[in-house]
Amino acid sequence: MNTRETINTFIDFYREHGHELSPSRSLLPPEGDDSVLFTTSGMHHLTPYLLGRPHPLGRRLSGVQRCLRTTDLEEVGDPTHLTVFEMLGSWSLGDYGSGRSLRWGHRLLLDGFGLPPESLHVTVFGGDEQTGPDVESLQTWQELGVPVEVLGPDNWWSNGPTGPCGPDSEIFVWTGDGEPEGTPSTDTRWVEIWNHVMMRYERLEDGSLVPLPQPSIDTGMGLERLLTVLQRKDSVYECDVFEPWQRTVPTLWPLDTRDHRVVVDHLRSGIVVIGDGVRPSNTGRGYVLRRLLRRVLTLLWSRDLPLLEELPLDLYGHTLDHFGQSPVVTGLTPVEIQRVVLEEQRRFLQMLDRGRRLLSRRPRGEVLDEGTLRFLHETHGLPREIVEVLSA
């Protein structure tokens, strides 16, 4: 299944079960939501409705939402993590419960996506000092004959320190060779692809939980991870959604596998962030964008490779089209996005010149201690890796 077929299979399944399509939203969270810099899950724009407000489309929704998680930035480069990714989601806003949600999910994975039953393993919440175990989910999986691992805090999902929350049940797929073995908590070859959250509580500022007047279900399945499984690839970067990047980037910059993934992810993510209206700066969302672009620039510069003038416009256009950010929607053309990227590159090169001048004033052979490295970074914006190359 290619990307479009996979998305359509998901949306069509839930449409057949009475779910209206919820439109994809920006990476910027709803106005007034200061809990996160970016949309980190499909539910962010639905929080008021999970708390009980009636949704204009009804009580059953599904959709595809682009997300960004700053907590994953340092993980990028491994086979599964991305900065910007897409989440397939379904929601029951006070309608059906966890048993039906899990049964539908199981049916879609087996009949819709063709996964063999023996390739699945699940986890459920076993309870803690505030709430008891998720008995309904446990019984549902046992009735379906799917192996279950009962865990603790790993199976509790929260939107943030306050807000809607509840136990979740995570579905894992075996990605190793041979027969499945171990459990999701003991063997990393079990890869999580789908999370069903039972939104039963609201966490207050004092940490206490109060039952929601309208219990709901929020599910989220990473599109790229699902594609990796369906297309039998070893990493998310090998599935078809990355094909234009995988075809072009190696011809521009010879890099090892991890650095190649960082460059592809950060440039692609940067394009999407700019497309949603963010510009590089030293604070907030702009700093996240600056960090993405400058990590790529530092990596290329330190290896004496050409910089970002080399990135062809068709990769900008492909990325914007894939994420629904065409000029008709955003008012930004690939050329205008490129202009933002190259302006940040110009500022990066100015920083290098400033760094050379600063370091040239230091006594020859002086060792740069941690305090000095921190001062150069915090005062002059010079990251450690750049200082170390300039000082060599």
Q: Is residue 207 domain-shared with residue 355, that is, in the same domain?
A: no
Q: Is residue 249 domain-shared with residue 162, that is, in the same domain?
A: no
Q: Is residue 230 domain-shared with residue 251, that is, in the same domain?
A: no
302 vs 244: CA distance, rounded Å: 25
- In the chain, how many domains are there? 2
Domain span at residue 350?
Answer: 243-391
Q: Is residue 216 domain-shared with residue 322, that is, in the same domain?
A: no
Q: Is residue 345 domain-shared with residue 294, that is, in the same domain?
A: yes
99 vs 308: CA distance, rounded Å: 50
Tell me the CATH number at 229: 3.30.930.10
Q: Is residue 208 domain-shared with residue 321, that is, in the same domain?
A: no
Q: Is residue 57 domain-shared with residue 158, that is, in the same domain?
A: yes
**Of 112, 138, 123, which Cα lies nearest the Cα of 171?**
123
Q: Is residue 73 domain-shared with residue 107, that is, in the same domain?
A: yes
pLDDT per residue as tens, the chain (392 positions):
999 999 999 999 999 999 999 999 999 987 767 778 898 888 888 888 988 899 999 999 999 999 998 888 889 999 989 999 999 999 999 999 999 999 999 999 999 999 999 999 999 999 999 999 999 999 999 999 999 999 999 999 987 788 899 999 999 999 999 999 999 999 999 999 999 999 999 999 999 999 998 999 999 999 999 999 999 999 999 999 999 999 999 999 999 999 999 999 999 999 999 999 999 998 999 999 999 999 999 999 989 999 999 999 999 999 999 999 988 888 889 999 999 999 999 999 998 888 888 888 877 666 777 888 888 877 777 878 788 777 76
Domain boundary among 210, 237, 264: 237
Domain boundary among 237, 256, 286: 237
pLDDT on residue 82: 95
Q: Which two tokens stand for residue 147?
A: 């192996």
> Which distant-in-sequence residues (6+ apart) come within 8 Å of 293 by Cβ?
266, 267, 270, 280, 308, 341, 344, 345, 348
17 vs 97: CA distance, rounded Å: 14
**Of 270, 301, 266, which Cα lies nearest the Cα of 382?**
301
pLDDT on residue 32: 66
Domain boundary among 195, 220, 237: 237
pLDDT on residue 71: 83
Q: Is residue 187 domain-shared with residue 257, that is, in the same domain?
A: no
Whether residue 392 contacts residue 385, with contact meaning beta carbons closer than 8 Å, is answered with no
Q: Is residue 81 domain-shared with residue 206, that is, in the same domain?
A: yes
Q: Is residue 259 domain-shared with residue 231, that is, in the same domain?
A: no
- CA dihedral (133, 222, 162, 70) positive or negative: positive
Q: Is residue 82 domain-shared with residue 229, that is, in the same domain?
A: yes
